[in-house]
Each structure stands twice: as structure tokens, then as C-alpha cells.
Homo-oligomer: A and B are copies of this chain.
Amino acid sequence: MKRLVFVFAFFVGFTGTEVISGNPDSLVIGNFFSEALTHPVAYHNLGFLCNNFQGRLCGTLQAEKAVAWVYRMLKEMNPDTVYLQPLTVKRWERGEKEVARVKSSAVGKQVLNICALGSSIGTGSKGIEAEVVEVAGFEQLDDLGREGISGKIVFFNRCANPTWFYTFNAYAEVVALRARGALYAAKYGAIGVIVRSATLSHDDYPHTGIQHYADSVIRIPAVAVSTNGADSLSAWLKVDHRLRLFIRTTCMELSETGSFNVIAEIKGTVHPEKIIAFGGHIDAWDLGQGAHDDGAGVVQTMEVLRLFKQLQIKPANTLRLVVFMDEEYAQRGATAYASAVGIKNESHIAAIESDRGGFTPQGFSIDATDKQVDLIRRWQPLLEPYGYWSFAKGGSGVDIGPLKKYGFPLIALVTDSQRYFDYQHAGSDTFDKISPRELQLGSAGIASLVYLIDKYSNLLAP
């Protein structure tokens, strides 16, 4: 009977804050936030992760140590299950510190802050040197053609558009130059590419990230240059368009190796076979500490389990934390998880991903049917007192994306995006950029959403 009363309160409860303040769900959600803000366990966990397992790109010893640490921490939490889900990952090493030098009698000897892009081949120990052709996009390459490009280094210098409020939109407009620049330029005979970092900030950090080759096209070295460096190079080219750029990288891809997703569960008391999944990814690019991308998401979703345990809330359905391996390189963890769901014929109610940085949360982006989105949006007033103002239909995340074929709602934590790309994939993504309160508002918000999905799961059925 009590449950029915609660459901009733839920349906009448979303017309005004007066009613919400007496809503039993409000009380539970308030407890999640109070506990998270009073005991920022996730913050201390993130500090340990960042300071001890820096450079945890998939396939590295650091990544394996991070997996072992996550497994150990979860075991200590004493949920019903903790296990490793095996998979294989690609392996790439950055090698020696990258070098880029400009040679020009007009502008003198100049150095640039660069980093190799993920999966890139190296230049060889002697490096490459050539004239530079600056372009803003692929169309210009088509215009220049082979005669304008062959034997040169292509400099992709397109600024991210600062007028987007949500910075992921600005990133989305330029990331293809990083991801496919080498592939595109090689078709016209370029010997290498140097790409403006995909960020809205103006600083000296080069931002790495994955780039892709194709079997049919010759592989050429690809590096990113800091935005300040890109501005300098562009200015120098205006002084001397025939300046020569020397680049040296010793990165390389190695043989594949074994790795793991880490999974932990609190079993459902009524429907243990039905799963609410949530997680982030443990791997991170090697230049920084992977604090915002995505140590934050890992510790926040670990914290969800702690909050349920601490508040002694026993879910009706199974709560499953998935700490994904390899979001950055080839998404093998996401593939392995989605594949296992199919093989085991597991039934999910929803999946939630946190991979947009540990910044102040703004809401959730929901990839689901209109009916499901409408239902979840009705919960927004319960979370608005904690700054969750945007519940919108939209994309979810890279690690839960492959689950889309199973047809249940996929949800992403949406955070304040203003500073995310200042740090993403750069040496500046370090623990000192994390605010314990901003991080924990995310932990408690995910816990609240998991709680609501669990309690009203019957309403979410397609």
C-alpha cells in the first residue's frame, strides 16, 4: 500500500515545489545529496586514481593497475557481486617527447608545442621536414589538389566556434580534422599533418585524441599543436609561406593485449534479473591525469553504489556499475559489454553514462522514446533544487551507445561544459581542476536518477 501511495504522490507531485517538498522521493534525493556533499569519498578516490595511475591509456601497465585498484575498492564496498569482464585492447605508445621546429630565415628558429595523435605512426627517428600548407578544412584540400599538397605537411587550422553555448557542439564541428585529417591529406600526397587542438581555450597545451587510418590509404604521421602554437604558425606562414617545419615523433602501435571492464552489482530484491546500468571509463589519454576525462565519471558512479549502501536503500531491480575500459582508443570495453548483454540475453531498464567531466551538473540527456523522455522529464523538479535544470531528449555516451539496439533508455549526465575542452585530452586534465562539490553534485544526481528509475521502472517499459 505504501508503494501505491508513493506512486500517487509522484503523479500529483510535480506541479509545484510546495508539493515536492513533502514528496517522499524528495527526502530520499535530499539524503543522497547531503551524504555526497558531507563525505566527498568520490573526490578522495579521484585524487588517488589521478595521482597513482596517471597515463592509464588502454593496454598500459598503468591502466591495468587502475583496473586492479577499482576492483579492490569495489570489493571493499561489499556489494553483492564484483567481477572482471575480459576483453582485448589495442596498444599504442607515444614514445619520446615530440619535437616540432620551424626553420625560416624570415621568422628564425621557432618551436611548437605538439603531441602525437592517438594511433598515429611515428615519423621515424630522423623526423620529417617539409613546407607547410595551411587549410581550414577538407574542402580546401580538394581545391588545392595533389599539386598543392604532395610532399608537404598539411596544417589544419580551423578555430572552434566560440559562440556555441554548449561547447560539445563547437568540438563536434572541428573534431573530424583531428580524427580524419591524416587520412584525407594522405590521399593528396601529404607527408604529415599538424592539427590545431580541438579546444576553445587559448593556451600552450596540445590536445591529443584518436585519429583514424584506412587500409587503402598510406599512413602518415599526425600531430596536434596547441592553439597558441597554431596561431603562431599561421602568423609565421604569413611572413614566410615557404618556411619549413620539422616534426619528430616515435609513437607506434604495438600488439594487442588483454584487459577488463570492471562490474559490480547490488542485486534487486524484487527483479534481480532486471538491470539499471551506470558507469564511466577508466582509461584516459596519457598526457594528463584523466581527471575530468573520465576519472570523474568512474568515481561518481562508484559513489552511486556507496550512496545506496550508506543510506541502506535496497533497490527492487539490480544496480550495476560498469567501469569501462578503452573509451578513448577503440571502444573495446563498450563493445564487449554490449556483446555480453546480447549473449546472456540480459534485460536492462536503462543505462546511464557520466563522461562529460566532473563539473557542476546541469541535467540529463535522454536517448529514448518520446513517452519515456516525457516520463523522465517529470522528475526534473525533484532535482532542480540541486541545479538540474535541463532534462532533454538527446545523445547519451560512447560507452553505452552500442546498447542502443536493445531499445532501452540511454542517459548521459550533462555538466557545465564551459571548461571541459580546456582540459580534455591535454596535460592540463589534472586533479587540481576538480571541485569536490561540483563532482559530488554529479554523484548524487546519478544516484537520484537510478533511484527513480528503480522505483518507477514499470512506467518506463516501452
Which residues of chain B come closer than 8 Å to A441, judged between CB atoms?
165, 418
By the criterion CB–CB under 8 Å, are B38 and A360 in contact?
A: no
In whole angstroms, how far apart are the Cα atoms of A422 and B362 in the complex? 21
In whole angstroms, how far apart are the Cα atoms of A270 and B95 in the complex? 68
Which residues of chain B come closer than 8 Å to A37, judged between CB atoms?
162-163
Contact of A38 among B162, B165, B167, B385 (CB under 8 A): B162
Contact of A435 among B162, B362, B389, B418 (CB under 8 A): B418
Nearest CB of B to A29, in Å = 11
Contact of A163 among B38, B163, B387, B435 (CB under 8 A): B38
Q: Does A34 contact B (CB under 8 A)?
A: yes
Q: How many residues of A are in contact with the other chain, CB < 8 A?
A: 24
Q: Does A416 contact B (CB under 8 A)?
A: yes
User: C-beta contact mask, A126-167 vs B, less than 8 Å → 1, else 0?
Assistant: 000000000000000000000000000000000000110101
Q: How many copies of this chain does the complex contain?
A: 2
* CB-CB contacts below 8 Å: A354-388 with B: 360, 362, 385-387
By the criterion CB–CB under 8 Å, are B360 and A387 in contact?
A: no
Nearest CB of B to A409, in Å = 23
Judged by DSSP, the binding face of A is mixed
Closest to A416 in B: B360
Closest to A164 in B: B37
* CB-CB contacts below 8 Å: A194-225 with B: 200
By the criterion CB–CB under 8 Å, are B438 and A419 in contact?
A: yes
By the criterion CB–CB under 8 Å, are B437 and A200 in contact?
A: yes
Which residues of chain B come closer than 8 Å to A360, judged between CB atoms?
360, 416, 418
In whole angstroms, how far apart are the Cα atoms of A435 and B167 in the complex? 13
Q: Does A390 contact B (CB under 8 A)?
A: yes
A-B contact pairs, 11 of them (CB 8 A): A33-B165, A37-B162, A38-B162, A165-B386, A360-B416, A360-B418, A387-B416, A418-B438, A418-B441, A419-B435, A419-B438
Q: A residues touching B (Cβ–Cβ < 8 Å)?
A: 33-34, 37-38, 162-163, 165, 167, 200, 360, 362, 385-387, 389-390, 416, 418-419, 422, 435, 437-438, 441
